[in-house]
Amino acid sequence: MAKLKAGSRLKSAVCDTQVMVIAAPAGDVDLRCGGAALTELSVTAPRGAIHPDHKNGTQIGKRYVNDDGSLELLCTKPGEGSLAVGEARLKLKEAKALPSSD
């Protein structure tokens, strides 16, 4: 469980996934990737194993949200684990295609 700060970066403890927090609820969030809590980018702990139930992978450039949209992450580096709050899997945010304007 940790407080998440918009604009900060986190990484998975069990795969290559890195994310940036776009929006976060005020309180503590049990944010996980591949079944394990995410860590600060600077942490260099030995890597654990990905939980087999949380192995759908993350895609670079995609945004992931929780059910009520209070949490939004941008995947800045892809990996094999899936993002979740507790056991609840985050969903891919569908982006509306926009015409390029600049």
Partner 1 sequence: MNLMMLLEMAAASAGEREALVCEGERWTHGELFAAAGRAAARVRASGVERVALLDVSSPAVPIALFASAWAGRPFVPLNYRLTGPELDVLIERVRPALLIADRERAAALGRREGVQAVAREDFLAGVRAPGPAPDPDWAMEPDDVAIWLFTSGTTGAPKAALLRHRHLVSYILGSVEFMSASEADAALVSVPPYHVAGMAALLSSIYAGRRIVQLPAFSPERWLALVESERVTNAFVVPTMLARVVDALEAGGGKPPRTLRALAYGGGKMPLPVIERAMRLFGQADLTNAYGLTETSSTIAVLGPDDHREAAASDAPDVRRRLSSVGRPLPGVEVEIRDPDGKPVPAGQRGEVCVRGEQVSGEYLGRASRIGPGGWFPTNDGGFLDEAGYLFVEGRIDDVIVRGGENLSPGEIEDVLLGHPAVADVAVVGVPDVEWGEGVAAAIVLKEGAQASAGEIQAWVKKHLRSSRVPQLVRFEPELPYNEAGKLLRRRVREALARTS
User: Cα dihedral sign for 96, 55, 44, 23?
Assistant: positive
CB pairs under 8 A, 24+ apart, for 94-97? Answer: 95/63
Q: Does 60 bind partner 1 (CB under 8 A)?
A: yes
Question: Shortest approach of partner 1 to residue 16 CB, angstroms?
Answer: 10
Q: How far apart are CA 75 and CA 61, in angstroms?
A: 5
C-alpha distance across the termini of the chain, in Å: 41
Please pick, from the candidates 51, 62, 85, 89, the single residue that binds partner 1 as defined by CB under 8 A. Answer: 62
CB of 72 to partner 1, least distance (A): 9
Residue selected from 24, 29, 63, 64 as contacting partner 1 according to rule CB under 8 A:
63
- Say whether residue 44 binds partner 1 (CB under 8 A): no
* 94 binds partner 1 per the rule CB under 8 A: no
